[in-house]
Structure 1
Amino acid sequence: MTARANRIATLTDAAIELIADGGMRALTHRAVDGRAGMPPGTTSAYLRTRQALIEAVVGRLAERDRADLAAYDLPAGPPPPTPAPRLDSGDLDALAAGVAEVLDRWLSTGRSRSLARYACLLEAVHRPELRGILQHGTGLRVQARDLLTRAGATDPDRQGDQFVAFVDGLLFDRLAGAGALSAPQPGTAASRADLGAAVRTLLRALTGS
């Protein structure tokens, strides 16, 4: 990573924490400078406009999400160009467990990133010029379609999109919805087991195995 890339990563990580703590209204260039411990004007020198700052934040969120997926042996890039092996029931068990590990991480040590991610998405609803940030989620849908194809789903394109929507909804419910009131404490084995059971139930419904 270049010196410039390192500096932008530091600034965007600070911006993520600001958004998580105070929402999008807390995000200013001056506030990012302060949170990052940088001299005034540093953020605007690298990311001149608010739109550029938000886009950089979303890019950083996507980068760190991909790293988490890879850490738990989940697909983090485009599907292979050649057909991959078919997934059996044991593979789906492992997939559900891996997804549960990542979700639990995003609810515990990665909670700030999850809050910032949803805040950015809501900002894009009201600002059409930011809708491009939604493209960062398309890669997950491509991966899900490929996985469900390999698992024998009858309509993998549609069901892959449904799978991603379900997982995203599960995360949101545990993060900010009523699920946060009754679900096991994030960061515990009970949380991971509960999340894994939910994901595995859906995979079984979509694939029959």
Structure 2
Amino acid sequence: MITRAVVVPHPPLLVPRLSPGPNPELAALREACVAAAGRLGPVWTAVGAHPEDQVIGPDAAGSFRGYGVDERVRLSANGVRRTLPLPALVAGWLREQAGAESVEVRLVAGSTAPADCARLGKQLTGDLLILGDGSNRHGPGAPGGEDVRAPAFDDAVAKALAKADTQALLELDPMLAEELGAGGRVPWQVLAGAGGDWRAELLYSAAPFGVGYHVAVWELRR
């Protein structure tokens, strides 16, 4: 059973070397992500979306070179360098910021149905790091172009995360999420399948760069 879970986005701009210079909105997002990750224990399981299912063990390491800077991260102290997808890179970077021991990364196909996401959530144990962005269609300058449905979609996600409303997360429409460029749908629904009586705290929710970002901490009530 999952005892603690943290929800964060995974934009490369979280890494200071990839986004130098002062930016209050970015600083607030980064601070919330690091603070949330610090609430987890020493060993994590991370869940993110990917074109295909994949498990990356804690013996891996990688670099953000593909995003402009050779910022190296490890999933544990003994990580061996290889090419890692973005969710794994951000998981490794957050592990280092939080001083955690290790993180195993479970990547789940972005086409996975809600029921299958929930089934995976029931199988997971320990401390969980959920990596996923909201819609990338907030406003005319958004990466995916503007879609007037984006604010309502991410508002619903924020409310569900703030209340630990697992049913609301499971009811997110996969087709709508895809149309809105919301890659977090699958990992959020994995979390929703974990079950339990949760105490939730929403640390951040905004779309400062045209993409919805949410940071939340869920802790199982004793």
TM-score (norm. length: structure 1): 0.27
Structure 1 or 2, whichever has the larger Rg, is: 1
Q: Of Structure 1 and Structure 2, which has the larger fraction of its residues in strand? A: 2
- Higher normalized contact order (CA 8 Å, seq sep 6+, divided by chain length): 2
Q: Of Structure 1 and Structure 2, which has the larger fraction of its residues in helix? A: 1
